Amino acid sequence: MKKFNVRDRVFLDEAINAFLRESKKFEEESELLGQRPIITYEYWKMMAKDVQDKLETFSTQKANKQSKRYKEEITVTEIEKII
């Protein structure tokens, strides 16, 4: 079976992050309107973690290292936005 390479993995990681950003935005908008989403952001976050864990199984070691660096950069960037 062919494993995901670095390019594939970066694309998949970005797709997951984009989905999580939109689901967070949707939940915040729903709260402002006094509505409650059927599926919460915390649930989507848990499911995304599960998907990322499975992706690691089907990715090359080099792709996993790149993905880990990418996630660390994203976390630092998000913290800097808060500060």
35-44 contacts at long range (C-beta below 8 A, 24 or more positions apart): 44/19, 44/20
Answer whether residue 14 is part of any domain: yes
Q: Is residue 1 part of a domain?
A: no
Q: Is residue 10 part of a domain?
A: yes
What DSSP character marks residue 2? P
pLDDT of 77 reads: 60
Instruction: Scan for tokens 């599926």, then name that residue.
Output: 39
State phi, psi for 59 to the nearest 5 degrees: -120, 155
For residue 28, being part of any structural domain is answered with yes
Number of folded domains that form the chain: 1
Statement: residue 83 has pLDDT above 50? no
29 found inside a domain? yes
Residue 38 CA to residue 60 CA, distance in Å, equals 36
pLDDT one-digit tens code per residue, 1-52: 778 888 888 888 889 989 999 999 999 999 999 998 889 999 999 999 999 8
pTM of the entire predicted model = 0.73
pLDDT the model gives residue 34: 93
pLDDT, tens digit, 9 for 90 and up, residues 39-79: 999 999 999 999 988 888 888 888 878 777 777 666 556 54
- As given in the structure block, the two tokens for residue 36 are 């409650």
Which residue's entry shows tokens 């500060």?
83
Is there a domain that residue 68 lies in?
yes
Residue 53 in any domain: the answer is yes
The residue segments making up the domain with residue 58 are: 6-82
